């Protein structure tokens, strides 16, 4: 095969903005891998790209929207879900994905996260969890494991972190999954499945942050941190949700899989049923 035929195009040329590449993520960071899985899942979904919208918040993960050839919104810190909610209510035909990090989604944006799940907003949320605020100095966050060293917990984090799959399942998400960034095939298939559903879908992806988290916790280089999570990973979709906590212990398990895949009416379904029907019928909705 001629050399020109090999390098003339890339399988993701249709969806990646080559004018923004190369990206600025650190060597060893898992975000490029996660974005690649997402791009391939978008193409495999068969949904026209002009129906896809990606909304991101602040932080390393928040840069993802700018690398994609779809409509995107880079929003204020912690407010990705409210922006996305407005989009899907204004135009329910859009397929809206919130692509952001644990600090943006779960810390400052935590209230929006739990209520969007409770309402069953028709949103696809991908949370790349690197256990710290990687862009702003490696501070602790609500997913930092007990015992982990960060710039704001130099003697070890002593609080209980959120168990994200359990939290979102309890809040009513219709689809909840977790993988590491090394589970490329499983992650891509899970993202594709999330595109086939309606309602609030949540995928947690565990990814290394070699500078902000790996270095202070003596996990080595980026590849070493990846293997640390990979060795601990255990596929068990039937595991009880309370077993999905993450620990820094060398003998602990990081349980991965799809833990919730169910159906219930979305926010707009209920709105049309309970509000519009009464308005159109002349009722006030009062008991």
CATH of the domain at 126: 3.40.50.970
Measured CA to CA, the distance from residue 258 to residue 176 in angstroms comes to 6
Neighbouring C-beta atoms of residue 72, cutoff 10 Å:
19
3-state DSSP call for residue 54? strand
Closest CA to 212 of 105, 62, 60, 110: 60
| % of the chain surpassing 90 pLDDT | 72
| pLDDT tens readout for residues 261-285 | 999 999 999 998 887 777 776 665 5
Residue 287: band (very low, low, confident or very high) from pLDDT cuts 50, 70, 90: very low
**Residue 45 is assigned to a structural domain of this protein:** yes
Backbone angles phi, psi at 85, to 5 degrees: -60, -45
Question: Contact at 8 Å (CB) between 229 and 81?
Answer: no
pLDDT at 225: 84
| % of the chain surpassing 70 pLDDT | 94
- For 151-176, what is the mean pLDDT? 95
**Residue 241 is assigned to a structural domain of this protein:** yes
Give the pairing type, strands 175-180 and 254-261.
Answer: antiparallel
pLDDT at 141: 93
**Residue 50 is assigned to a structural domain of this protein:** yes
**Residue 141 is assigned to a structural domain of this protein:** yes
Laid out side by side, the sheet with 233-235 consists of: 71-74, 52-56, 95-101, 124-129, 201-206, 175-180, 254-261, 233-235
**Residue 3 is assigned to a structural domain of this protein:** no
Total domains, the chain: 1
**Residue 248 is assigned to a structural domain of this protein:** yes
**Residue 105 is assigned to a structural domain of this protein:** yes
| pLDDT tens readout for residues 215-244 | 999 988 888 888 888 888 999 999 999 999
pLDDT at 136: 87
pLDDT at 135: 86
pTM: 0.92
What stretch of H or E contains 41?
helix 31-45
Least confident range from 65-69, 118-122, 223-227: namely: 223-227
Domain extent for 31: 9-280
Question: Contact at 8 Å (CB) between 176 and 202?
Answer: yes
**Residue 286 is assigned to a structural domain of this protein:** no
């Amino acid at each position: 095969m001629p050399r020109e035929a090999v390098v003339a195009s890339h399988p993701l040329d249709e969806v990646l903005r080559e004018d923004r590449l190369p990206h600025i993520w650190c060597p060893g960071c898992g975000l490029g891998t996660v974005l690649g899985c997402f791009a391939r899942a978008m193409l495999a979904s068969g949904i026209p790209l002009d129906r896809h919208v990606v909304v991101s918040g602040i932080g390393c993960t928040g840069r993802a929207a700018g690398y994609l050839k779809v409509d995107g919104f880079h929003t204020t810190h912690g407010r990705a879900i409210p922006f996305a909610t407005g989009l899907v209510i204004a135009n329910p035909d859009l397929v809206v994905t919130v692509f952001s990090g644990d600090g943006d989604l779960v810390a400052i944006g935590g209230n929006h996260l739990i209520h969007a799940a409770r309402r069953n907003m028709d949103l696809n949320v991908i949370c790349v969890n690197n256990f710290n605020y990687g862009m702003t100095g490696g501070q602790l966050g609500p997913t930092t494991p007990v015992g982990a060293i960060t710039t704001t917990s130099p003697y070890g984090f002593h609080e209980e972190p959120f168990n994200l799959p359990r939290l979102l399942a309890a809040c009513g998400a219709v689809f909840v999954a977790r993988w590491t960034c090394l589970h490329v095939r499983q992650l891509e298939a899970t993202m594709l499945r999330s595109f086939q559903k309606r309602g609030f879908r949540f995928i947690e992806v565990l990814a290394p942050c070699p500078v902000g988290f790996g270095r202070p916790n003596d996990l080595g280089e980026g590849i070493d941190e990846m293997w640390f999570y990979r060795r601990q990973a255990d596929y068990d979709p039937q595991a009880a949700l309370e077993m999905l906590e993450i620990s820094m212990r060398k003998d602990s398990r990081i349980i991965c899989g799809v833990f919730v895949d169910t159906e219930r009416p979305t926010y707009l379904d209920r709105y049309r049923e309970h509000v519009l029907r009464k308005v159109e019928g002349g009722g006030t909705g009062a008991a």
